[in-house]
Structure 1
């Protein structure tokens, strides 16, 4: 397709010293050679978001909502903390609500033995509940802290790149199909 998708790359961690930057930077190198996406990196750690819902929205919250609304597709880079995903990510997701509807979401997850799979599976339920479309394939890094070299490249680079390519190809397919559908008629959310 000649019209690239607007991809929002959402950082799932706000912790100081987080490993999320390493994984997200690697993914950005995978995206750099693709012409089917323009990328908007959304890092909640850089946003001044409120600590609870309600009240007048901050300028950063309004900006976040607009960025998610403009996106055609999403990749969430998510760590697994204590068999789940971070609360800061849940706050971001809940702050945007309807802007996720009828848009595909993919996951690049990392963690200990599970490779972040539990966090990604929980997020599939959350995004499905918001009428987003989680895609099947993702990229998972078990023992992530030991899987990357000092330059931020996975030791199993070829396998990781193949997984990322498959995920991004599927995301592009869904992204184009759903963008056309949203343009043809409004999504009938309940």
Structure 2
């Protein structure tokens, strides 16, 4: 099964690649997934959607960069969204990436890794759960959270005290694997 680890922040100076790199290591050690790190900063995603929203026309024309991202999302069996918490919510670029697609999220499993100053990204995660529920995706209960992330990683991007985050990642990966296997099987029956 393929797991897309999505870096949800595109701002300059972001910490998302460090957190995503740590999580990708955990996912590789888990062994249940082939990992694809998808950095939204690599795609030019317009905030303005087409006149006919993707929800009403999921196969409609897309700009080249949006189409390229769609191919990566469609190939995934599960996702982990790595997101900061900006002003009690998730980044606009991440919401644009979600809203451009419909079928790519449908009946797939999603987990979250959050980071921010005080909340550890939990407010962004809770908002994203509602969004993905509307897209018929299944979000797993477990998540990983890094409050005051700037105190938890050293200058090389390694965790200073990895035991608790590593255990949280392993538990979430177990849930992701179980649900993505179940939903992959269900999708194959629905299509076949």
Q: TM-score, normalised by structure 1?
A: 0.92
Distance, in Å, in 2 between the alignment partners of 1:32 and 1:173 is 16
1:16 maps to 2:21:
no
1:38 maps to 2:8:
no
CA contact (8 A) 2:46 2:96 kept: no
1:63 shift after superposition: 1.3
1:53 shift after superposition: 1.3
In structure 1, what is the equivalent of residue 84 of structure 2? 79
1:117 maps to 2:122:
yes
User: How many residues in Structure 1 have an aligned counterpart in Structure 2?
Assistant: 182
Distance, in Å, in 1 between the alignment partners of 2:183 and 2:86 is 32
In structure 2, what is the equivalent of residue 144 of structure 1? 149
Runs of 4+ in 1 over 6 A off after TM superposition: none
1:35 shift after superposition: 2.6
Write out per-residue CA displacement over residues 107-162 of structure 1, whole angstroms, 9 at most, x where no aligned residue: 00001111110000000000001000000000000011111111212222011100
1:181 maps to 2:186:
yes
Structure 2: runs of 5 or more not aligned: 52-60
SS in 1 for 2:35: strand
1:33 shift after superposition: 2.3
SS in 1 for 2:163: helix
SS in 2 for 1:83: coil
In structure 2, what is the equivalent of residue 50 of structure 1? 46
